[in-house]
Structure 1
Amino acid sequence: MLEVICAIIVDHLSSKVFVAQRGLSMKMPLKFEFPGGKMELGETPSECLVREIKEELNLSIVVLEELSPNIHSYPEFIIKLVPFICHIIGGEIVLKEHATYLWLVPADLLNLDWAEADIPILKNYLASL
């Protein structure tokens, strides 16, 4: 099972949520997701997320709260997706892997074409508001 940590990045002033669209060269191209990545040996989930968001988006974040994970079976692999609520504390967005990004109010998030493993994460987040 592939364990992936993802960031639900919330703007604390507007309450808008950051979402990223997967690039054409990525698996599940052009699907929307909460950005993140795989943990490296010896990393905690929080350390992984801080590193991945810096690498992928050039942003510094603070990790605030862990939400319930989702286990999803894709045809070629099984993923355990572990989400964390985060805030940006520095940096300017530079997309290194993703096609584009959006800041959306929570009510608009369900209108996107999401990667399947992210959908229960999204629904759980929205239910917690």
Structure 2
Amino acid sequence: MTSLIIPNDGTSANVSPTLVLGYEASLESKNVVHDIIGGGIGVTLIRPRPRSGTLALFFTEESAAFAAVELHKRETSFTLSDTDRPVVGMRYIVDGSVGIRLTDDRKRWEVSIDFQEVEA
């Protein structure tokens, strides 16, 4: 699997995790349901927001994991591409936390990123 994260700020910086360890996303409905006097409901249908959730990235090298954290401090959007799972590819912004943790075997690193997909 080849994953690549590129910041959309015109620089040549990028990060390539060993693995996209986790991907959890959801769409938030924006539909509005109105109660109608005398009974019944009215519905206003609105397109949902783009997906949001959490990416979990796995790194075998400490320096690459910390580079991923540093990369996500930038005031820009990012593009994720993945050759094995193209469906996870997207342009996103950080929306929440960026975390890093040492795995239980104390040899590898995981970086988590709360994201909001944005339109290109």
TM-score bucket of the superposed structures, by smaller chain: 0.3 to 0.5
Where is the strand percentage greater, Structure 1 or Structure 2?
2
Where is the helix percentage greater, Structure 1 or Structure 2?
1
Q: Which structure ranks higher in relative contact order (CA pairs < 8 Å, sequence separation ≥ 6)?
A: 1
